[in-house]
Chain A
Amino acid sequence: MLSLHQLEKTFPARAAAVHAFGPVSLDVAEGEFISLLGPSGCGKSTALYIIAGLEHASRGEVRIDGQAVTGPGPERGMVFQNYTLFPWLTVRENTRFSLQLARNADYTASPAAILSRHARADHLIELLGLEAFAHHHPRALSGGMKQRVAIARALVNRPRLLLMDEPFGALDAQTREELQDLMILLHRYERTTTLFVTHDIEEALFVSSRVVVFSKRPGRIIADIPVPFSSADRTPALKLEPAFIELKRELAGLLRHERADDARRQELLHRLVAHPTPRPPASLSL
């Protein structure tokens, strides 16, 4: 349903143009949950912004259901790394934001259909455990809560594609795990095709059905690995299973290869072992 064809991005700069990523080609089928994994600066977020229509590609194209993407649209919902709730709206108003927009209005819809859209927003609030905060403004919410609202807001319109740009990057480890579990449940329930950008290997393996690995800048796809676990398998215990750890090791190996400083680091380590730094004489410490 989504296809990237020879997609490429170059940022013009005064000294020398920065080649962010590409060419990248990728086909995504209906209902897939794909992680884009790669070292920071590899262009995976830029690729996501291009798919969202918020950035222009330098070359190549993005097609959704055969239609070329030319700008942002409600059929591609997005959850951002930064908190992007509208601070002047309550949680409920935030989730209903898209329902008031002219582009999403269906003038042929019956009153019942319109009501059911509002009911869907409320249902998502409930599903994401936000009822108690429905009338709060975002400034009263924790980071994890804010991202839950952002997810609900993006899903209200039943987008064809959900784009997530390191959505849990700013959260603490525990909240992060909670939200990963929640994403698995949501995907099982909604079956929204999802592209999930992350630099966390475990996160990528745990939530997605397929992991696409980017090389360092300029990012290219160096691996496209199916994750064999069923959604019922995806419990916190999975992270300790040998099969999971084996995949993790494989991906870590791929990414380590992409570290620019690896050879230099090895050399330094060898030199340190060969010529240890002399300790200051013990008599100096009083």
Chain B
Amino acid sequence: MSLQPNAWSHLLAVRTPLPRWLHVGLACLGFAGCVGLYLWAGARPDNNPTFIPPIERIATAAQTILSGPDFWSDVRASFGRVTAGLLLAVLFAVPFGLWIGAFRPIEALTQPVVEFLRYVPVPALIPIVMIFFGIGEGAKIALIFLGTFFQLALMVAEEVRRVPNDLVHAAQTLGASRGEILSLVLFRGALPGILDAVRLCNGWAWSYVVVAEMIAATEGLGFRVLRFYRFIQTPNIFVYLLVLGLIGLALDQLFRACNARLFRWADATRR
């Protein structure tokens, strides 16, 4: 497939669809640009290789790290904390958000409080979490829970409110009870949006776990990055940063794929 020469100028018209090959090509170009920038900065005469190590040194560091014992236990630890915190948040925030979105009195009672709580910066909660939960696993899971629960509850409520009222009316005239409207109409209708909200929260949860691990931990990706910093092992830091980015990207794509597969019925513009 090729484009007519004059078609290139049309590609920048607002909301013009892009051919698949060009989309993939441009995405690769973006990554290549980053690598190029890195190489250029590293090759400058005023660069100290401790700041921007040559790519070969990062590759060697990656080899050592991936074959070492710490890496996989770090990944497992961070992954476990994110999963536990996020699952807990989903478990409580989805029903809570459903109630906020469905019942006005509950919305009036809780939404302003939740709006307030969600703007408390999560790192600022670390001291209080440590006082309550100590410095063990519980504290990190609690921090991820606190960081995502309020956001998720409000996003779920918003998705529930977006289910058209006509669908609720239709269900009522077919004989649906209040509980059936909640489960068969509001929850089902909001489900694609809820999964998308969980995807976003997953991204934030990874930020929070790294912050938590930097403060008090004996393993985990965040803990290790700080450790490398103490010994000024820049190549190792870069390896871990790449791993964190890749995990985030992979999980994000996984969520998107699930959403596309499970909710084919949903309007394409919703994704």
Contact = CB atoms under 8 A, between A and B. Distances in A.
Interface of A: 52-54, 71-74, 76-78, 80, 82, 84, 86-89, 97-98, 100-104, 137-139, 150, 153-154, 157, 163
B99 interface: no
B170 A78 contact: yes
Contacts of A80: 166, 169-170
Contact of A86 (B169, B173, B189, B264): B189
A103 B171 contact: no
Nearest to B188: A88
Contacts of A76: 173
Given A88-B263, A88-B265, A139-B267, A78 B173 contact: yes
Nearest to A88: B265
Given A87-B265, A87-B266, A137-B265, A54 B173 contact: yes
B180 interface: yes
B175 A103 contact: yes
Contacts of B164: 82, 84
Closest 7 pairs (CB-CB, A-B): A74-B175, A72-B172, A84-B170, A98-B174, A78-B173, A103-B175, A137-B265
A102 B169 contact: no
Contacts of B171: 86, 97
Given A74-B173, A87-B267, A88-B191, 7 more contacts: A53-B172, A72-B169, A86-B167, A88-B263, A101-B176, A103-B175, A138-B265
Main secondary structure of the interface of B (DSSP, over half): helix
A89 B266 CA distance: 10
Interface string B56-77: 0000000000000000000000
A101 B175 contact: yes
B194 interface: no
B173 A72 contact: yes
A54 to B, nearest CB: 5
Given A82-B166, A101-B180, A139 B265 contact: yes
Contact of B169 (A74, A84, A101, A139): A84
A101 B174 CA distance: 8
Nearest to A76: B173
B230 to A, nearest CB: 52
A54 B189 contact: no
B177 interface: yes
B90 to A, nearest CB: 20
Contact of B173 (A77, A104, A137): A77
A84 B176 CA distance: 15
Given A88-B263, A88-B265, A153 B188 contact: no
B54 to A, nearest CB: 53
Contact of B189 (A71, A88, A138, A153): A88
B172 A97 contact: no
A231 to B, nearest CB: 26
A269 to B, nearest CB: 41
A107 B176 CA distance: 17
B186 to A, nearest CB: 11
A11 B71 CA distance: 67
A256 to B, nearest CB: 32
A87 B166 CA distance: 12
B185 interface: yes
A158 B70 CA distance: 67
Contacts of A139: 265, 267
Contacts of A52: 169, 173
Contacts of B170: 78, 80, 84, 86, 150, 153
B172 A154 contact: no
Contact of A154 (B174, B177, B184, B266): B174
Of the candidates A82, A104, A150, A153, the one having the most CB atoms from chain B within 10 angstroms of its own CB is A82
A73 B265 contact: no
Contacts of B188: 86, 88
Nearest to B166: A84
Contacts of A54: 169, 172-173
Given A86-B185, A88-B188, A154 B176 contact: no
